Amino acid sequence: MEILAFGVQADEKPLIERAFAGHHALRCLDVFLTRDTAPLAAGHEIISTSVNADLDEPVLRTLAAGGTRMIAQRSTGFNNIDLDVAERLGLTVARVSSYSPYSVAEFAWTLAMAVNRRIVRAAGRTRDFDFRLDGLMGRDLRGRTAGVLGTGKIGEAFTRIAHGFGMKLLGWDVAENPACAALGMKYVDKDRLLAESDLVSLHVPLLPATHHLIDAAALRAMKDDAILVNSSRGGLVDTEALVRELRAGRFTGVGLDVYEAEAGLFFLDKSLAGVEDDTLARLVTFPNVVVTSHQAYYTSDAVGQIVDTTLRNVLDYLAGRSGENVLVPRSP
């Protein structure tokens, strides 16, 4: 059986090919699954997709009509998949429920430190042999307060690093994490966390209840000199509201690895075509903002775990097994 994998990055390709070797033939495509590319899956019972694939009803119907019966998504998030339609069409859907939390937590801290210490601006200056320090002053984080929205595995890893910096810890989640509490984290309501934190980092999933969790009101509740980091899902932040606050001169820095309208942009080369998204174009012009293209998970450790789990999901499907990674079970 040949399995078709959409949206395979160049660095990811040898890892996924190595994982599937000796099990099933694998064909890797660098194009993402969209309405235009869905017909390429015809004749493939199993396909694998990336997080920015568009699995809406038209795409799912095209896949089902072409003989696809199983979708193995290589990500934890699945807000890009219409699960109700998939179930009606008899499509099995699986994801990667977990992988190295350190990859994302460490990258979130990379963003926090980059904006705090003006690393991008400093590096740009030194390339031009401008060695002035004007405008590069940061601040110590020791003794300041880190607010962690979402204290699951990634949030816990982020908290442990914050603890290592000697920061005070505030947390917000539907359930307390005993490991975070043992580090001295105090769980408070969201408004208090935003009002008291010098650094706010987002580690919650994107659900209807968390869409625009950081909206205009939440942004206004934050300190004027706070740092905001989002390495989870773009839809957690109302980007237009964020731009308005940045234009007003607020926030020491903002680090974003995700963007709510990233589909069709991130993972692609738009350097020649240009970007028509006025909000994103305005966002990246602020000197205290760093935007990266959804790369927090992108370590050899995490991607290796992702492809290994994807293989296991495929083998489980073929053997008629189910497990924690299955979002829509196989039809009887």
Q: Which residues are catalytically annotated? A: 233, 262
Nearest residue to 205 via CA among 174, 241, 238, 165: 174
Residue 287's contacts (CB-CB under 8 Å, 6 or more residues apart) are 121, 135
Return all residues near 22 (Cβ < 8 A) that are at least 6 apart.
none
Burial 5-29 (b: 16+ CB within 10 A, else e): bbbbeeebeebbeebbeeeeebebb
Pick left, alpha or beta for residue 215 (phi over 0 → left; psi -120 to 50 → alpha; otherwise beta).
beta
Alpha carbon distance 171, 192 (integer Å): 10
Q: Quick one: DSSP state of residue 41?
A: G
| Contact present, 184 and 163 (Cβ < 8 Å) | yes
Phi, psi of 250 (to 5 degrees): -90, 155
Q: What's the DSSP call for residue 232? A: S
Residue 111 belongs to what H/E stretch? helix 101-116
Grouping H, G, I as helix, E, B as strand and the rest as coil, residue 153 is: helix
Contact 44, 4 (CB under 8 A): yes
CA torsion angle 272 111 259 193 (round to 10)? -160
Which segments of the chain are extended strands (E)?
2-5, 25-28, 46-49, 70-73, 92-94, 145-149, 168-172, 186-187, 199-202, 227-230, 253-256, 289-291, 326-328
